[in-house]
Each structure stands twice: as C-alpha cells, then as structure tokens.
C-alpha cells in the first residue's frame, strides 16, 4: 500500500508539473492562434454588447482548438511518466484520448461548417465510439443498501445497456455545457468549476481508500482532468468578461467529452451528474425548445439594454433567463459570476450528499 501510494503521488505530481507547463503554453498560443483564425474569417460578434463599440468588434472564434492541441500533447507525453502503468489501463487511456481527439475534430468541424442543430446533438455519440469499443471494465452497478430488498441483489450487471448509458452520458455532458452559454466566460467558467470539483473528488477518494485498483482508477481520472483544468484556466483568462476570444463548440465538446470520459473510467458517473446539476436544470428548461414544441432561434441570449448596460431575461427557456427573472437585471459579468457561484454550490451539495449517503454503498 505504501509503495502504490508513493508511485501514485509521484505520477500525480509530474502530471501537475506538465499541466502547469500546459497552462503557460496555452497562454502563449491563444494570441497566435487568434491571428490565424481571424485571417480565415473565423470570428463571432459579441451579441450582448450590441449598441456599444465593443459589440461590433470581431472576436476570434474556436480558440478551444488551442486548448485541445496543448491538452492532447500533454496527455500523450504523460504516459511516459505513469510509473504504475498496467497494460489494461493504458488501452483505456488511449481509447479515452482517441474519443477526446475525435470530439475536438468534430467540434472544430461544427465551428467551421455550422452544421444543423439535430446533427450537432449526435456528434458526440460518434466521438464516444473509441472508448465504448475498447472499454473492458465492468458493466455492473452497485445497488444502494436500502434498495437491495426490492431489487433482490447487491450487484446488477447491465451488459450492453451500460455501454449505451456511457454513450448517452457523453452526449449529455457535451451538449449540456454547450447550451449553458451565451455570457462571456460562462462556457469555460462552468468547466473550470466542475473540473476542480472532479479533481477534489478524486483526491478525497484516493486518500480514503486502501484498494490499489480503486486508487488507480481515481489517479487516472486526475491524469486526464488536471491538464484540462490548467489549459482551461488559460483560456478563461482570455474569455472572461469582456471576452477577447470565443471558445467555440470545439471547446464545449472537448470539455464535456473529457469530463464524461473521466466519469466513466473512474466509475463515478452518478457523482458527475450531480456536479452537472445546473446543466440538468438548463436542459430541462430548454426541452420545449430543443424538442421543437416552441420555436428555437439560432441564439437564445438575454436582451441587452444599451442605456443601462444591463441584461434582461427573454422568453427562451434557459437558466440564464431564469436567473435574470428571479434576481432582476444584471450586468453580463455579475450574472456570469452568479451562475458560477451556483455551479460551485451544486458541487458542494454533491460532496455533502456523498458524505450523508456514504453508508448506502458500504
């Protein structure tokens, strides 16, 4: 136990060092990449600043591509330093990277070609294929103690249904982040909060466990999530209000897929879904428009009032609008901060819930 502890700590620290280097590399790369995407007319107008000089500025789009490239390089190089590697894990690690890489490709394709909404929705199910095909882990779920008498067993093997669930999780994580958007800093901000919660969760789990395989699973989550957190922080420094770059669907899909993958390989997708509480609420509020019962415009953003400089909620079903109606008009920046606080509260709630229910799975 002592040895694996030391080896894991060493791998995690090296991963942290690589991630720090990745942060600075991304900070350097984004301004360069911005010039290149603008040259190719890949830009967006900052809609919430209509009527101000800022609103008509062309903001470079899809800078998620810079994050994605740095991330992949880090994650690939890191394998050299994983001292506890066993071949089984390495197969899944590389399958995870293939899925993330495929997702970046499809996200960038979407940014360049602007594919229709229905197609957009299913792109992640293709990107998840490498992981689903290579996945050799168990397909069982542990029944919570109070439910065992009703289900009649302690462990339930779901077989292929479990793989279907993994695919759906990838579709949900990617799209739900992509549609909880439209404020400067919100797409990356929510990712940074959730990624930090995932990192903390993994550290707590490793510290509390004595089972080497369980510790390994959570360590692998850390190897994948730490570089994402670091490179995302670099992106946030440019995307924060007032944005000098936009992240693009390249980034939202990349972020969602990475979190889905770590939740799957770390076997804590239920915990992950509680971290995603704001995204679930936003998804439920969006359902009438997503399903086509209510007209869904290309952009569902709040209305900006140039006189007061404040945002007002519209009739579109989004959490952004819900917050504006509940708490009154806000500036774009303070609304984003409020939504990120809510995200942090959801993560805190998840830790509390896990602590309260700990006995259910023992």
Q: Which spans of this chain sit near ligand UD1 (rule: CB under 6 A)? A: 44-48, 61, 178-179, 181-184, 243, 246, 249, 286, 299-301
Coil/strand/helix, residue 304: strand
Nearer to ligand UD1, 212 or 288 (CB): 288
Partnered with residue 142 across adjacent β-strands are 155
Please answer whether residues 228 and 219 qualify as being in contact, where contact means their C-beta atoms are separated by less than 8 angstroms.
Answer: no
How do 58-60 and 140-142 pair as beta strands? unpaired
176 binds, among ligand UD1, Mg ion, none (CB under 5 to 8 A by kind): none
Nearer to ligand UD1, 19 or 282 (CB): 282
> Is 111 near Mg ion (CB under 5 A)?
no
CA distance 251 to 110: 11
Quick one: which of 308, 210, 225 has its CA closest to 265? Answer: 225
CB of 61 to ligand UD1, least distance (A): 5
CB of 114 to ligand UD1, least distance (A): 7
CA distance 232 to 30: 11
DSSP state of 63: T
Contacts of residue 17, defined as CB under 8 A and 6 or more positions apart, other chains included, come to: none
CB of 188 to ligand UD1, least distance (A): 10
CB of 194 to ligand UD1, least distance (A): 18
Quick one: which of 120, 106, 255 has its CA closest to 191? Answer: 255
Going from the C-alpha of 242 to that of each of 233, 263, 337, 347, the distances in angstroms are 16, 32, 13, 26
> Is 178 near Mg ion (CB under 5 A)?
yes
CB of 179 to ligand UD1, least distance (A): 4
DSSP state of 330: B
Nearer to ligand UD1, 178 or 271 (CB): 178
Coil/strand/helix, residue 182: coil
44 binds, among Mg ion, ligand UD1, none (CB under 5 to 8 A by kind): ligand UD1
The residue at minimum Cβ distance from ligand UD1 is 44
Q: Segment near Mg ion (CB under 5 A), from 123-131, 166-174, 177-185, 212-220?
A: 177-185
Nearer to ligand UD1, 61 or 92 (CB): 61
CB of 59 to ligand UD1, least distance (A): 7
CB of 242 to ligand UD1, least distance (A): 9
CA distance 284 to 317: 9
301 binds, among ligand UD1, Mg ion, none (CB under 5 to 8 A by kind): ligand UD1
> Which residue in 249, 254, 258, 276 binds Mg ion (CB under 5 A)?
249
Nearer to Mg ion, 186 or 222 (CB): 186
Angle at 326 (CA atoms; ends 292, 169), nearest 5 degrees: 45
Positions in the binding site for Mg ion (CB under 5 A): 178, 249, 252
């Amino acid at each position: 136990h002592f040895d694996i502890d030391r080896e894991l700590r060493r791998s995690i620290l090296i991963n942290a060092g690589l991630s720090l280097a990745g942060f600075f590399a991304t900070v350097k790369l984004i301004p360069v990449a911005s010039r290149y995407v603008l040259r190719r007319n890949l830009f967006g107008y900052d809609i919430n600043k209509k009527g101000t000089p800022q609103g008509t500025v062309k903001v470079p789009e899809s800078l998620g591509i810079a994050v994605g490239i740095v991330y992949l390089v880090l994650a690939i190089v890191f394998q050299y330093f994983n001292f506890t590697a066993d071949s089984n894990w390495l197969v899944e690690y590389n399958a995870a990277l293939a899925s993330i890489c495929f997702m970046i490709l499809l996200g960038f394709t979407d940014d360049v070609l602007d594919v229709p909404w229905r197609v957009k929705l299913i792109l992640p199910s293709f990107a998840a294929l490498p992981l689903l095909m290579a996945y050799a882990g168990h397909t069982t779920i542990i029944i919570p103690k109070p439910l065992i008498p009703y289900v009649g067993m302690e462990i339930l093997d779901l077989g292929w249904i479990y793989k279907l669930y993994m695919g759906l999780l990838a579709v949900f994580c990617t799209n739900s982040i992509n549609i909880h958007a439209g404020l400067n800093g919100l797409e990356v901000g929510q990712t940074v909060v959730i990624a930090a919660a995932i990192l903390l969760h993994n550290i707590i789990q490793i510290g509390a466990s004595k089972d080497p395989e369980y510790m390994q699973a959570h360590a692998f989550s850390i190897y994948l999530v730490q570089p994402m957190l670091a490179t995302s922080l670099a992106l946030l420094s440019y995307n924060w209000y007032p944005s000098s770059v936009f992240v693009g669907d390249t980034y939202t899909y990349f972020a969602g897929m990475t979190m889905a993958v770590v939740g799957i390989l770390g076997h804590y997708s239920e915990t992950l879904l509680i971290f995603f509480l704001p995204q679930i609420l936003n998804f439920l509020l969006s359902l009438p428009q997503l399903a086509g019962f209510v007209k869904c415009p290309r952009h569902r953003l709040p209305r900006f009032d140039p006189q007061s400089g404040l945002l007002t909620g519209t009739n579109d079903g989004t959490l952004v609008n819900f917050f504006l109606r509940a708490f009154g008009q806000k500036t774009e920046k303070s609304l984003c901060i409020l939504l990120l606080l809510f995200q942090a509260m959801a993560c805190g709630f998840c830790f509390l819930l896990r602590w309260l229910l700990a006995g259910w799975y023992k």
